[in-house]
Amino acid sequence: MHFVKLELLEALAASLEALSPGAGAKAAFESPKVAAHGDLATTAAMQLAKPLKMNPRQLAEKLRTDLLETTSFQKWVDAIEIAGPGFINFRLKPAAKQQVVREVLQQGAKFGVQPPNGKRVLVEFVSANPTGPLHVGHARQGALGDTICSLFQTQGWDVYREFYYNDAGVQIATLAQCTQLRAKGIHPGHALWPESAYNGDYIADIATDFLACKTVKADDREVTSTGNVDDLDAVREFAVAYLRHEQDLDLQAFAVKFDNYYLESSLYTSGRVDATVQALQASGKTYEKDGALWLQSTEYGDDKDRVMRKQDGTYTYFVPDVAYHIAKWERGFSKVVNIQGTDHHGTIARVRAGLQAANVGIPLGYPDYVLHTMVRVVKGGEEVKISKRAGSYVTLRDLIEWTSKDAVRFFLLSRKPDTEYTFDVDLAVARNNDNPVYYVQYAHARICSVLTAWGGDLGALSAVDLSALQSPQALALMLLLAKYPDMLCAAAADFAPHDVTFYLRELAASYHSYYDCERILVDDERFKLARLALVAATAQVLHNGLAVLGVGAPAKM
Protein backbone atom coordinates (compact mmCIF):
# COMPACT_ATOMS: atom_id res chain seq x y z
CA MET A 1 0.00 0.00 0.00
CA HIS A 2 3.06 2.23 0.19
CA PHE A 3 2.91 3.15 -3.49
CA VAL A 4 -0.86 3.75 -3.16
CA LYS A 5 -0.24 6.30 -0.41
CA LEU A 6 2.48 7.90 -2.52
CA GLU A 7 0.11 8.24 -5.48
CA LEU A 8 -2.59 9.76 -3.28
CA LEU A 9 -0.08 12.07 -1.61
CA GLU A 10 1.12 13.35 -4.98
CA ALA A 11 -2.46 14.09 -5.99
CA LEU A 12 -3.14 15.83 -2.67
CA ALA A 13 0.05 17.89 -3.02
CA ALA A 14 -0.92 18.97 -6.55
CA SER A 15 -4.38 20.05 -5.40
CA LEU A 16 -2.97 22.00 -2.47
CA GLU A 17 -0.38 23.64 -4.70
CA ALA A 18 -3.13 24.77 -7.05
CA LEU A 19 -4.97 26.35 -4.13
CA SER A 20 -1.90 28.04 -2.62
CA PRO A 21 1.62 28.02 -4.11
CA GLY A 22 4.01 26.33 -1.69
CA ALA A 23 1.27 24.43 0.15
CA GLY A 24 1.93 21.24 -1.78
CA ALA A 25 5.19 20.68 0.07
CA LYS A 26 3.22 20.34 3.31
CA ALA A 27 0.87 17.63 2.05
CA ALA A 28 0.56 14.84 4.58
CA PHE A 29 -1.75 12.06 5.71
CA GLU A 30 -2.41 10.93 9.25
CA SER A 31 -4.42 8.09 10.74
CA PRO A 32 -7.84 9.10 12.09
CA LYS A 33 -8.00 8.82 15.87
CA VAL A 34 -11.21 6.82 15.53
CA ALA A 35 -10.94 3.94 13.05
CA ALA A 36 -14.61 4.26 12.09
CA HIS A 37 -13.91 7.72 10.68
CA GLY A 38 -11.82 6.35 7.81
CA ASP A 39 -8.44 4.98 6.79
CA LEU A 40 -6.49 8.22 6.13
CA ALA A 41 -7.08 11.85 7.01
CA THR A 42 -5.67 15.30 6.37
CA THR A 43 -5.95 18.62 8.21
CA ALA A 44 -4.80 20.61 5.16
CA ALA A 45 -8.07 22.58 4.86
CA MET A 46 -7.82 23.86 8.43
CA GLN A 47 -4.17 24.81 7.95
CA LEU A 48 -4.83 26.73 4.72
CA ALA A 49 -8.12 28.36 5.71
CA LYS A 50 -6.63 31.35 7.50
CA PRO A 51 -4.02 32.38 4.89
CA LEU A 52 -6.63 31.91 2.13
CA LYS A 53 -9.27 33.73 4.20
CA MET A 54 -11.79 30.95 3.70
CA ASN A 55 -14.09 28.97 5.95
CA PRO A 56 -12.28 25.67 6.75
CA ARG A 57 -15.27 23.47 5.89
CA GLN A 58 -15.88 25.30 2.64
CA LEU A 59 -12.22 24.89 1.75
CA ALA A 60 -12.44 21.21 2.67
CA GLU A 61 -15.43 20.80 0.34
CA LYS A 62 -13.53 22.44 -2.52
CA LEU A 63 -10.52 20.23 -1.89
CA ARG A 64 -12.81 17.19 -1.79
CA THR A 65 -14.26 18.11 -5.18
CA ASP A 66 -10.80 18.63 -6.66
CA LEU A 67 -9.48 15.31 -5.32
CA LEU A 68 -12.46 13.31 -6.59
CA GLU A 69 -11.56 14.43 -10.11
CA THR A 70 -8.02 13.00 -9.92
CA THR A 71 -7.19 9.61 -11.40
CA SER A 72 -5.47 8.40 -8.22
CA PHE A 73 -8.37 9.13 -5.92
CA GLN A 74 -10.87 7.63 -8.38
CA LYS A 75 -8.76 4.48 -8.50
CA TRP A 76 -8.00 3.96 -4.82
CA VAL A 77 -10.54 5.89 -2.72
CA ASP A 78 -14.12 4.84 -1.99
CA ALA A 79 -15.27 8.00 -0.24
CA ILE A 80 -14.06 11.40 0.99
CA GLU A 81 -15.89 12.78 4.01
CA ILE A 82 -15.73 16.14 5.77
CA ALA A 83 -15.87 16.08 9.56
CA GLY A 84 -15.85 18.64 12.37
CA PRO A 85 -14.27 22.01 11.61
CA GLY A 86 -12.65 20.80 8.41
CA PHE A 87 -11.07 17.37 8.80
CA ILE A 88 -11.01 15.40 5.55
CA ASN A 89 -11.31 11.63 5.99
CA PHE A 90 -10.62 9.11 3.22
CA ARG A 91 -12.03 5.59 2.96
CA LEU A 92 -9.86 3.40 0.78
CA LYS A 93 -11.13 0.77 -1.62
CA PRO A 94 -10.35 -2.87 -0.72
CA ALA A 95 -8.00 -3.02 -3.72
CA ALA A 96 -5.87 -0.26 -2.16
CA LYS A 97 -5.53 -2.13 1.12
CA GLN A 98 -4.81 -5.42 -0.64
CA GLN A 99 -1.67 -3.99 -2.21
CA VAL A 100 0.21 -4.20 1.08
CA VAL A 101 0.03 -8.00 1.03
CA ARG A 102 1.91 -8.10 -2.25
CA GLU A 103 4.42 -5.50 -1.04
CA VAL A 104 5.21 -7.47 2.12
CA LEU A 105 5.59 -10.78 0.33
CA GLN A 106 7.80 -9.29 -2.37
CA GLN A 107 10.03 -7.32 0.02
CA GLY A 108 10.19 -9.86 2.85
CA ALA A 109 12.64 -8.85 5.59
CA LYS A 110 13.19 -5.52 3.78
CA PHE A 111 9.58 -4.40 4.22
CA GLY A 112 9.65 -1.16 6.18
CA VAL A 113 13.40 -0.73 5.75
CA GLN A 114 14.63 2.46 4.09
CA PRO A 115 17.69 2.68 1.80
CA PRO A 116 21.00 4.00 3.21
CA ASN A 117 20.82 7.74 3.90
CA GLY A 118 24.57 8.34 4.17
CA LYS A 119 24.32 9.43 7.82
CA ARG A 120 26.16 8.00 10.83
CA VAL A 121 24.95 7.73 14.41
CA LEU A 122 26.79 6.59 17.53
CA VAL A 123 24.67 5.04 20.27
CA GLU A 124 26.33 4.64 23.65
CA PHE A 125 24.62 2.26 26.07
CA VAL A 126 25.10 -0.08 29.02
CA SER A 127 28.50 1.53 29.82
CA ALA A 128 28.69 -0.31 33.15
CA ASN A 129 31.74 0.04 35.38
CA PRO A 130 33.57 -3.31 35.56
CA THR A 131 32.91 -3.73 39.28
CA GLY A 132 30.23 -6.44 39.19
CA PRO A 133 27.74 -8.38 37.06
CA LEU A 134 25.23 -6.47 34.97
CA HIS A 135 22.01 -5.76 36.87
CA VAL A 136 18.41 -5.39 35.66
CA GLY A 137 18.95 -1.66 35.07
CA HIS A 138 21.76 -2.53 32.65
CA ALA A 139 19.38 -5.09 31.11
CA ARG A 140 16.81 -2.39 30.40
CA GLN A 141 19.51 -0.16 28.99
CA GLY A 142 20.87 -2.97 26.83
CA ALA A 143 17.44 -3.73 25.39
CA LEU A 144 16.72 -0.03 24.78
CA GLY A 145 20.09 0.75 23.22
CA ASP A 146 20.21 -2.29 20.98
CA THR A 147 16.66 -1.75 19.72
CA ILE A 148 17.17 1.97 19.13
CA CYS A 149 20.21 0.98 17.04
CA SER A 150 18.04 -1.45 15.06
CA LEU A 151 15.38 1.22 14.55
CA PHE A 152 17.98 3.62 13.18
CA GLN A 153 19.23 0.89 10.86
CA THR A 154 15.71 0.40 9.45
CA GLN A 155 15.76 4.11 8.54
CA GLY A 156 19.00 3.86 6.59
CA TRP A 157 21.48 5.07 9.22
CA ASP A 158 25.00 3.69 9.56
CA VAL A 159 24.92 2.72 13.25
CA TYR A 160 27.89 2.41 15.62
CA ARG A 161 27.39 0.77 19.01
CA GLU A 162 29.74 1.90 21.79
CA PHE A 163 30.33 0.82 25.42
CA TYR A 164 32.12 3.39 27.59
CA TYR A 165 33.48 2.27 30.90
CA ASN A 166 35.44 3.59 33.83
CA ASP A 167 38.56 1.49 34.26
CA ALA A 168 40.01 3.73 36.98
CA GLY A 169 38.85 5.76 39.96
CA VAL A 170 37.41 5.04 43.41
CA GLN A 171 35.10 2.17 42.42
CA ILE A 172 37.89 0.26 40.69
CA ALA A 173 40.17 0.87 43.68
CA THR A 174 37.47 -0.59 45.93
CA LEU A 175 37.14 -3.62 43.64
CA ALA A 176 40.89 -4.24 43.80
CA GLN A 177 40.95 -3.88 47.59
CA CYS A 178 38.03 -6.29 48.08
CA THR A 179 39.58 -8.87 45.78
CA GLN A 180 42.92 -8.59 47.54
CA LEU A 181 41.29 -9.04 50.97
CA ARG A 182 39.35 -12.08 49.78
CA ALA A 183 42.54 -13.57 48.39
CA LYS A 184 44.10 -13.10 51.83
CA GLY A 185 41.21 -14.92 53.50
CA ILE A 186 39.36 -11.86 54.77
CA HIS A 187 35.62 -11.89 54.00
CA PRO A 188 32.43 -9.87 54.69
CA GLY A 189 31.83 -9.63 58.41
CA HIS A 190 35.52 -9.60 59.27
CA ALA A 191 36.78 -6.62 61.27
CA LEU A 192 39.08 -5.61 58.40
CA TRP A 193 36.34 -5.79 55.77
CA PRO A 194 35.52 -2.24 54.50
CA GLU A 195 32.02 -0.82 54.84
CA SER A 196 31.92 0.27 51.21
CA ALA A 197 33.08 -3.10 49.89
CA TYR A 198 31.48 -5.27 47.23
CA ASN A 199 30.01 -8.28 49.06
CA GLY A 200 28.86 -10.61 46.28
CA ASP A 201 30.18 -14.14 45.84
CA TYR A 202 31.74 -13.04 42.56
CA ILE A 203 34.53 -11.29 44.53
CA ALA A 204 35.50 -14.63 46.07
CA ASP A 205 35.45 -16.20 42.59
CA ILE A 206 37.84 -13.53 41.27
CA ALA A 207 40.18 -14.02 44.24
CA THR A 208 40.19 -17.81 43.77
CA ASP A 209 41.08 -17.54 40.09
CA PHE A 210 43.72 -14.89 40.83
CA LEU A 211 45.43 -17.23 43.32
CA ALA A 212 45.24 -20.04 40.74
CA CYS A 213 47.11 -17.80 38.22
CA LYS A 214 44.36 -18.21 35.65
CA THR A 215 44.01 -16.26 32.39
CA VAL A 216 40.87 -14.28 31.67
CA LYS A 217 39.93 -12.97 28.25
CA ALA A 218 37.39 -10.24 27.53
CA ASP A 219 36.39 -8.64 24.23
CA ASP A 220 38.97 -5.92 24.70
CA ARG A 221 41.72 -7.49 26.86
CA GLU A 222 43.44 -10.67 28.09
CA VAL A 223 45.19 -10.91 31.48
CA THR A 224 47.05 -13.73 33.23
CA SER A 225 47.21 -13.50 37.01
CA THR A 226 50.57 -13.30 38.76
CA GLY A 227 49.13 -14.86 41.91
CA ASN A 228 50.96 -12.24 44.00
CA VAL A 229 48.30 -10.95 46.45
CA ASP A 230 50.59 -8.14 47.59
CA ASP A 231 50.72 -6.63 44.10
CA LEU A 232 47.59 -4.47 44.18
CA ASP A 233 48.06 -3.26 40.60
CA ALA A 234 48.15 -6.87 39.37
CA VAL A 235 45.02 -7.65 41.41
CA ARG A 236 43.25 -4.63 39.94
CA GLU A 237 44.19 -5.50 36.36
CA PHE A 238 43.04 -9.10 36.77
CA ALA A 239 39.78 -8.15 38.53
CA VAL A 240 38.82 -5.64 35.83
CA ALA A 241 39.52 -8.17 33.06
CA TYR A 242 37.61 -10.87 34.96
CA LEU A 243 34.52 -8.70 35.29
CA ARG A 244 34.78 -7.47 31.72
CA HIS A 245 34.67 -11.14 30.74
CA GLU A 246 31.65 -11.70 32.99
CA GLN A 247 29.88 -8.74 31.42
CA ASP A 248 30.71 -10.10 27.98
CA LEU A 249 28.95 -13.34 28.94
CA ASP A 250 25.95 -11.34 30.16
CA LEU A 251 25.81 -9.42 26.88
CA GLN A 252 26.23 -12.58 24.80
CA ALA A 253 23.33 -14.19 26.65
CA PHE A 254 21.31 -11.07 25.84
CA ALA A 255 22.47 -11.05 22.19
CA VAL A 256 23.97 -7.56 22.46
CA LYS A 257 27.17 -6.71 20.57
CA PHE A 258 29.30 -3.57 20.48
CA ASP A 259 31.53 -2.12 17.81
CA ASN A 260 33.85 -0.50 20.32
CA TYR A 261 34.76 -0.37 24.01
CA TYR A 262 35.96 3.09 24.98
CA LEU A 263 38.11 3.40 28.12
CA GLU A 264 37.74 6.44 30.33
CA SER A 265 41.43 6.13 31.22
CA SER A 266 42.33 6.73 27.56
CA LEU A 267 40.92 10.24 27.86
CA TYR A 268 43.64 11.00 30.40
CA THR A 269 46.52 9.07 28.83
CA SER A 270 45.82 10.61 25.40
CA GLY A 271 45.76 14.11 26.85
CA ARG A 272 42.13 14.68 25.85
CA VAL A 273 41.03 15.75 29.33
CA ASP A 274 43.86 18.30 29.66
CA ALA A 275 43.17 19.59 26.15
CA THR A 276 39.48 20.00 26.97
CA VAL A 277 40.24 21.93 30.15
CA GLN A 278 42.61 24.18 28.22
CA ALA A 279 39.94 24.83 25.57
CA LEU A 280 37.40 25.75 28.25
CA GLN A 281 39.86 28.09 29.93
CA ALA A 282 40.78 29.67 26.60
CA SER A 283 37.10 30.33 25.89
CA GLY A 284 36.92 32.56 28.98
CA LYS A 285 34.12 30.48 30.47
CA THR A 286 35.99 29.32 33.60
CA TYR A 287 37.07 30.99 36.83
CA GLU A 288 38.97 30.18 40.04
CA LYS A 289 37.12 30.19 43.36
CA ASP A 290 37.89 28.59 46.76
CA GLY A 291 40.91 26.84 45.29
CA ALA A 292 38.82 25.12 42.60
CA LEU A 293 38.32 25.68 38.86
CA TRP A 294 34.70 26.36 37.86
CA LEU A 295 32.77 26.31 34.57
CA GLN A 296 30.25 29.10 33.96
CA SER A 297 27.62 26.54 32.96
CA THR A 298 24.75 28.86 33.96
CA GLU A 299 25.44 30.77 30.75
CA TYR A 300 24.24 27.68 28.90
CA GLY A 301 21.08 26.90 30.85
CA ASP A 302 22.47 24.99 33.84
CA ASP A 303 20.93 25.84 37.23
CA LYS A 304 24.34 26.65 38.75
CA ASP A 305 28.01 26.85 37.83
CA ARG A 306 29.93 23.58 38.17
CA VAL A 307 33.29 22.68 39.66
CA MET A 308 35.66 21.27 37.03
CA ARG A 309 38.81 20.77 39.06
CA LYS A 310 38.59 20.24 42.81
CA GLN A 311 40.95 21.64 45.42
CA ASP A 312 42.97 18.41 45.41
CA GLY A 313 43.64 18.77 41.68
CA THR A 314 41.35 15.96 40.51
CA TYR A 315 38.62 16.56 37.95
CA THR A 316 34.90 16.10 38.60
CA TYR A 317 33.26 13.39 36.57
CA PHE A 318 31.57 15.63 33.98
CA VAL A 319 34.95 16.89 32.68
CA PRO A 320 35.99 13.56 31.09
CA ASP A 321 32.39 13.30 29.82
CA VAL A 322 32.88 16.55 27.93
CA ALA A 323 36.23 15.33 26.58
CA TYR A 324 34.61 12.04 25.54
CA HIS A 325 31.86 13.79 23.58
CA ILE A 326 34.32 16.07 21.84
CA ALA A 327 36.08 12.85 20.79
CA LYS A 328 32.77 11.50 19.44
CA TRP A 329 32.30 14.67 17.43
CA GLU A 330 35.86 14.58 16.09
CA ARG A 331 35.35 10.96 15.04
CA GLY A 332 32.67 12.19 12.65
CA PHE A 333 29.51 11.39 14.60
CA SER A 334 27.24 14.39 14.16
CA LYS A 335 24.40 12.35 15.67
CA VAL A 336 24.98 10.80 19.11
CA VAL A 337 22.48 9.13 21.44
CA ASN A 338 23.27 8.24 25.06
CA ILE A 339 21.13 5.67 26.89
CA GLN A 340 21.45 6.24 30.64
CA GLY A 341 19.58 5.92 33.92
CA THR A 342 17.46 8.79 35.20
CA ASP A 343 20.09 9.35 37.90
CA HIS A 344 22.19 10.92 35.11
CA HIS A 345 19.61 13.64 34.49
CA GLY A 346 21.72 16.27 36.24
CA THR A 347 24.69 15.66 33.96
CA ILE A 348 22.87 16.60 30.75
CA ALA A 349 22.96 20.37 31.23
CA ARG A 350 26.56 20.47 32.39
CA VAL A 351 27.88 18.22 29.61
CA ARG A 352 26.06 20.23 26.96
CA ALA A 353 27.28 23.45 28.59
CA GLY A 354 30.86 22.20 28.49
CA LEU A 355 30.52 21.26 24.82
CA GLN A 356 29.24 24.71 23.93
CA ALA A 357 31.86 26.49 26.04
CA ALA A 358 34.65 24.46 24.40
CA ASN A 359 33.74 26.25 21.14
CA VAL A 360 34.64 23.37 18.81
CA GLY A 361 31.62 23.66 16.50
CA ILE A 362 29.28 21.23 18.26
CA PRO A 363 25.61 22.22 17.76
CA LEU A 364 23.16 22.96 20.57
CA GLY A 365 21.36 19.93 21.98
CA TYR A 366 24.27 17.55 21.32
CA PRO A 367 24.15 14.74 22.35
CA ASP A 368 20.63 13.28 22.55
CA TYR A 369 19.73 11.43 25.75
CA VAL A 370 17.29 8.63 26.50
CA LEU A 371 16.87 8.23 30.25
CA HIS A 372 15.31 5.15 31.81
CA THR A 373 14.08 4.28 35.27
CA MET A 374 15.20 1.25 37.24
CA VAL A 375 13.28 -2.03 37.25
CA ARG A 376 11.56 -3.86 40.11
CA VAL A 377 11.58 -7.65 39.89
CA VAL A 378 8.67 -9.66 41.29
CA LYS A 379 8.70 -13.45 41.61
CA GLY A 380 6.05 -15.50 43.36
CA GLY A 381 4.21 -12.29 44.18
CA GLU A 382 7.14 -10.85 46.15
CA GLU A 383 9.81 -8.37 45.17
CA VAL A 384 13.27 -9.87 44.62
CA LYS A 385 16.11 -7.55 45.61
CA ILE A 386 19.10 -9.75 46.27
CA SER A 387 21.11 -12.11 44.14
CA LYS A 388 23.56 -14.40 45.95
CA ARG A 389 26.01 -14.01 43.12
CA ALA A 390 25.86 -10.20 43.02
CA GLY A 391 25.32 -9.65 46.71
CA SER A 392 22.80 -6.82 46.54
CA TYR A 393 20.83 -6.86 43.28
CA VAL A 394 19.22 -9.08 40.66
CA THR A 395 21.49 -9.64 37.66
CA LEU A 396 20.69 -9.71 33.97
CA ARG A 397 21.66 -13.38 33.83
CA ASP A 398 19.32 -14.13 36.73
CA LEU A 399 16.42 -12.75 34.69
CA ILE A 400 17.42 -14.68 31.56
CA GLU A 401 17.86 -17.94 33.51
CA TRP A 402 14.49 -17.52 35.22
CA THR A 403 12.67 -16.68 31.97
CA SER A 404 14.34 -16.30 28.56
CA LYS A 405 16.27 -13.78 26.51
CA ASP A 406 13.16 -13.09 24.42
CA ALA A 407 10.94 -12.46 27.44
CA VAL A 408 13.47 -10.15 29.10
CA ARG A 409 13.90 -8.08 25.96
CA PHE A 410 10.20 -7.80 25.12
CA PHE A 411 9.14 -7.05 28.69
CA LEU A 412 11.80 -4.38 29.27
CA LEU A 413 10.84 -2.69 26.01
CA SER A 414 7.10 -2.74 26.62
CA ARG A 415 6.96 0.58 28.48
CA LYS A 416 8.30 4.07 27.83
CA PRO A 417 11.89 4.27 29.12
CA ASP A 418 11.13 6.93 31.72
CA THR A 419 8.21 5.05 33.31
CA GLU A 420 8.56 2.76 36.31
CA TYR A 421 8.46 -0.92 35.40
CA THR A 422 7.86 -4.09 37.37
CA PHE A 423 9.21 -7.26 35.77
CA ASP A 424 6.89 -10.12 36.71
CA VAL A 425 8.91 -13.33 36.39
CA ASP A 426 5.84 -15.57 36.69
CA LEU A 427 4.06 -13.71 33.88
CA ALA A 428 7.17 -13.87 31.70
CA VAL A 429 7.11 -17.70 31.73
CA ALA A 430 3.32 -18.06 31.48
CA ARG A 431 2.04 -19.70 28.29
CA ASN A 432 -1.14 -17.70 27.93
CA ASN A 433 -2.47 -14.54 26.32
CA ASP A 434 -1.65 -12.43 29.38
CA ASN A 435 2.02 -12.84 28.54
CA PRO A 436 2.64 -10.27 25.76
CA VAL A 437 5.70 -11.91 24.21
CA TYR A 438 3.98 -15.32 24.19
CA TYR A 439 0.88 -13.71 22.63
CA VAL A 440 2.88 -12.20 19.76
CA GLN A 441 5.13 -15.22 19.20
CA TYR A 442 2.11 -17.55 19.29
CA ALA A 443 0.46 -15.54 16.51
CA HIS A 444 3.56 -16.11 14.36
CA ALA A 445 3.72 -19.82 15.22
CA ARG A 446 0.01 -20.19 14.55
CA ILE A 447 0.44 -18.81 11.03
CA CYS A 448 3.45 -21.04 10.42
CA SER A 449 1.37 -24.11 11.33
CA VAL A 450 -1.29 -23.07 8.80
CA LEU A 451 1.30 -22.57 6.07
CA THR A 452 2.91 -25.92 6.90
CA ALA A 453 -0.46 -27.66 6.76
CA TRP A 454 -1.03 -26.13 3.31
CA GLY A 455 2.42 -27.20 2.12
CA GLY A 456 2.44 -25.10 -1.05
CA ASP A 457 4.98 -22.73 -2.59
CA LEU A 458 5.23 -19.64 -0.38
CA GLY A 459 6.99 -17.73 -3.13
CA ALA A 460 4.00 -18.05 -5.41
CA LEU A 461 1.70 -16.28 -2.95
CA SER A 462 3.00 -12.84 -3.95
CA ALA A 463 1.29 -13.21 -7.33
CA VAL A 464 -2.13 -14.57 -6.32
CA ASP A 465 -5.44 -12.79 -6.85
CA LEU A 466 -6.19 -10.84 -3.65
CA SER A 467 -9.67 -9.57 -4.56
CA ALA A 468 -11.32 -12.12 -2.27
CA LEU A 469 -9.97 -10.28 0.79
CA GLN A 470 -13.08 -8.23 1.51
CA SER A 471 -14.21 -9.07 5.06
CA PRO A 472 -13.99 -6.35 7.74
CA GLN A 473 -11.40 -8.40 9.66
CA ALA A 474 -9.23 -8.91 6.57
CA LEU A 475 -9.43 -5.24 5.64
CA ALA A 476 -8.51 -4.19 9.21
CA LEU A 477 -5.55 -6.58 9.22
CA MET A 478 -4.25 -5.25 5.91
CA LEU A 479 -4.59 -1.64 7.03
CA LEU A 480 -2.54 -2.47 10.12
CA LEU A 481 0.16 -4.15 8.02
CA ALA A 482 0.39 -0.97 5.97
CA LYS A 483 1.12 1.07 9.09
CA TYR A 484 4.32 -0.85 9.88
CA PRO A 485 6.80 1.33 7.89
CA ASP A 486 5.42 4.58 9.34
CA MET A 487 5.49 3.09 12.83
CA LEU A 488 9.19 2.23 12.44
CA CYS A 489 9.97 5.72 11.19
CA ALA A 490 8.19 7.38 14.12
CA ALA A 491 9.70 4.98 16.68
CA ALA A 492 13.22 5.75 15.44
CA ALA A 493 12.62 9.51 15.45
CA ASP A 494 11.17 9.44 18.97
CA PHE A 495 13.64 6.88 20.45
CA ALA A 496 10.56 4.80 21.25
CA PRO A 497 11.09 1.01 21.06
CA HIS A 498 7.89 0.56 23.07
CA ASP A 499 5.99 1.65 19.96
CA VAL A 500 7.19 -1.56 18.27
CA THR A 501 5.90 -3.75 21.13
CA PHE A 502 2.54 -1.95 21.10
CA TYR A 503 2.26 -2.41 17.34
CA LEU A 504 3.14 -6.11 17.47
CA ARG A 505 0.57 -6.78 20.17
CA GLU A 506 -2.06 -4.96 18.11
CA LEU A 507 -1.07 -6.88 14.97
CA ALA A 508 -1.22 -10.20 16.84
CA ALA A 509 -4.68 -9.32 18.18
CA SER A 510 -5.86 -8.36 14.69
CA TYR A 511 -4.58 -11.67 13.30
CA HIS A 512 -6.21 -13.73 16.07
CA SER A 513 -9.51 -11.94 15.37
CA TYR A 514 -9.18 -12.65 11.65
CA TYR A 515 -8.30 -16.31 12.22
CA ASP A 516 -11.26 -16.80 14.56
CA CYS A 517 -13.78 -15.48 12.04
CA GLU A 518 -12.47 -16.75 8.71
CA ARG A 519 -11.16 -20.21 7.83
CA ILE A 520 -7.93 -20.19 5.83
CA LEU A 521 -7.69 -23.63 4.25
CA VAL A 522 -11.05 -23.68 2.46
CA ASP A 523 -11.92 -25.67 -0.66
CA ASP A 524 -12.33 -22.62 -2.90
CA GLU A 525 -8.83 -22.16 -4.35
CA ARG A 526 -9.24 -18.43 -4.98
CA PHE A 527 -10.25 -17.69 -1.41
CA LYS A 528 -7.71 -20.08 0.06
CA LEU A 529 -4.73 -18.60 -1.78
CA ALA A 530 -5.77 -15.02 -1.03
CA ARG A 531 -6.14 -15.80 2.67
CA LEU A 532 -2.85 -17.69 2.73
CA ALA A 533 -1.14 -14.68 1.17
CA LEU A 534 -2.62 -12.40 3.84
CA VAL A 535 -1.52 -14.56 6.77
CA ALA A 536 1.92 -15.15 5.23
CA ALA A 537 2.35 -11.37 4.97
CA THR A 538 1.24 -11.03 8.59
CA ALA A 539 3.81 -13.62 9.69
CA GLN A 540 6.50 -11.71 7.79
CA VAL A 541 5.71 -8.41 9.50
CA LEU A 542 5.53 -10.10 12.92
CA HIS A 543 8.95 -11.63 12.17
CA ASN A 544 10.36 -8.27 11.02
CA GLY A 545 9.08 -6.41 14.09
CA LEU A 546 10.34 -9.03 16.52
CA ALA A 547 13.74 -8.93 14.81
CA VAL A 548 13.95 -5.18 15.45
CA LEU A 549 13.45 -5.96 19.16
CA GLY A 550 16.04 -8.75 19.06
CA VAL A 551 13.30 -11.29 19.84
CA GLY A 552 12.87 -14.61 18.06
CA ALA A 553 9.89 -15.55 15.89
CA PRO A 554 9.42 -19.30 16.51
CA ALA A 555 7.65 -21.45 13.94
CA LYS A 556 6.44 -23.85 16.63
CA MET A 557 5.43 -23.33 20.26
Last residue of a domain, one of 92, 114, 132: 92
Last residue of a domain, one of 92, 118, 148: 92
Query: Which strands sit side by side in the sheet containing 375-379, from one edge to the other?
Result: 382-384, 375-379, 421-424
Q: Is residue 476 part of a domain?
A: yes
- Is residue 332 in a domain? no
Q: Do residues 38 and 90 make contact, with C-beta atoms less than 8 angstroms apart?
A: yes
d(CA 144, CA 414): 10
Instruction: Give the C-alpha separation, 462 to 529, whole Å.
Output: 10
How many angstroms separate the CA atoms of 109 and 449, rounded?
Answer: 20
Q: Which of 386, 385, 375 is nearest to 342 (CA)?
A: 375
Q: List Cβ neighbours of 423 (8 Å cut-off, separation of 6 or more).
A: 136, 375, 376, 377, 378, 399, 408, 411, 412
Instruction: Tell me which residue range forms the domain holding 467.
Output: 433-549
* β-pair type (375-379, 421-424): parallel
Q: Which residues are within 8 A (CB) of 392 and not within 5 positions of it... i.e. 6 or more apart? A: 199, 200, 385, 386
pLDDT at 28: 93
Number of structural domains the chain divides into: 2
Domain-embedded: residue 124: no
Would you say residue 366 lies in a domain? no
CATH code: domain of residue 59: 3.30.1360.70
Closest by Cα among 322, 315, 310, 321 to 279: 322
Domain CATH number, residue 460: 1.10.730.10
**Distance from C-alpha of 10 to C-alpha of 378, rounded to nearest angstrom:** 52
Domain end point (choices 45, 60, 92): 92
Alpha-carbon span 515 to 363, nearest angstrom: 52
Residue 467 lies in a domain: yes
Flag whether 21 is in a domain.
yes
What do you get for the CA distance between the two ends of the chain, in Å?
31
Q: How far is CA 12 from CA 16, 27, 62, in A?
A: 6, 6, 12
pTM, two decimals, is: 0.92
Q: Are 354 and 298 in contact (CB under 8 A)?
A: no
In angstroms, what CA-CA distances link 325 with 95, 302, 318, 349, 493? 51, 18, 11, 13, 21
User: Looking at residue 156, what is its pLDDT?
Assistant: 98
Identify whether 484 is part of a domain.
yes
Task: Find the length of the chain.
Answer: 557
Question: Is 243 contained in some domain?
Answer: no
Helix or strand run (H / E) with residue 170? helix 170-183
Instruction: From first to last of the 557 residues of the chain, give the pLDDT tens digit.
Output: 788 999 999 999 999 999 999 999 989 999 888 888 899 999 999 999 999 999 999 999 999 999 999 999 999 999 999 999 999 999 999 999 999 999 999 999 999 999 999 999 999 999 998 888 899 999 999 999 999 999 999 999 999 999 998 887 788 999 999 999 999 999 999 999 998 889 888 999 999 999 999 999 988 889 999 999 999 999 999 999 999 999 999 999 999 999 999 999 899 999 999 999 999 999 999 999 999 999 999 999 899 999 999 999 999 989 999 999 999 999 999 999 999 999 889 899 999 999 999 999 999 999 999 999 999 999 999 999 865 555 668 889 999 999 999 999 999 999 999 999 999 999 999 999 999 999 999 999 999 999 999 999 999 999 999 999 999 999 999 999 999 999 999 999 999 999 999 999 999 999 999 999 999 999 999 999 999 999 999 999 999 999 999 999 999 99
Helix (H) or strand (E) holding 89: strand 87-92
Whether the bond between 363 and the residue before it is cis, its omega within 30 degrees of 0, is no
